[in-house]
Amino acid sequence: MKISIGGFPPDTTEEEIRKPLEEFGAVINKISIQPSEKEGGYMAILDVDTDETGCKVLAEQINGKMWKGKQLRARSFMFLK
């Protein structure tokens, strides 16, 4: 399952994203940080080892949180292999 999180400032690192999520119990297989088309910020695509429900709950917990003065936008989605 995948989660996209938008709204990160450009200086955000993979470790800064990974650490708090793993403290929530999330198992993150991969993080990809890339420029976002909105607001000049960055977004992260997370490959999370959980089912659809767990992914939705995690995205809901992240959505709207403040990070370095920016409000995060998160959503879960599924990629077919």
Query: In 3D, which of 4, 1, 7 has the Cα closest to residue 65?
Result: 7
- CA gap 13, 15 in Å, rounded: 5
Residue 49, pLDDT above cutoff 80: yes
Q: Mean pLDDT of all residues in the chain?
A: 87
pLDDT-derived band at 81, boundaries 50, 70, 90: very low
* The pLDDT value given to residue 39: 61
Looking at the structure of the chain, the number of domains it has is 1
8 with 43: CB under 8 angstroms?
A: yes
- Mean pLDDT in residue range 47-57: 90
Q: Which residue has better confidence, 39 or 70?
A: 70
| Structural domain of 55 | 7-77
Q: What CATH number did the domain enclosing 36 receive?
A: 3.30.70.330
At 77 the pLDDT is 83
Q: Tell me whether residue 2 is in a domain.
A: no
> What does the pLDDT average to over 52-69?
90
The answer to the question of residue 71 being in a domain is: yes
Q: Would you tell me how many other CB atoms lie within 10 Å of the CB of residue 76?
A: 22
- In this structure, is residue 24 part of a structural domain? yes
> Is residue 37 assigned to a domain?
yes
